[in-house]
Amino acid sequence: MYVCVCKGVTDHQIRQHVSDGARSWREVREATGCATQCGKCACFAKSITRDAVQEA
């Protein structure tokens, strides 16, 4: 599912970055570009990142 329409980032990509070693929303954002355009996806993308980091 697309989380960030502007940058074409999916929830799967976010989880993948966390399993590849990203440990913060900032790292995920820098790696994917998620939430760097309109910003509407930021809350949802952050919560996906937080859940993925807790599970990691």
The residue (of 35 and 48) whose beta carbon lies closer to ligand FES is 35
Sign of CA dihedral 36, 40, 43, 45: negative
* φ, ψ (nearest 5 deg) of residue 24: -150, 160
Residue ranges that bind ligand FES, judged by CB under 6 A: 4-7, 34-35, 37-41
The residue (of 4 and 52) whose beta carbon lies closer to ligand FES is 4
The CB-of-45 to ligand FES minimum distance in angstroms stands at 7
The CB-of-41 to ligand FES minimum distance in angstroms stands at 3
Tokens representing 47? 């919560």
- Decide if 15 contacts 51 (C-beta within 8 A): no
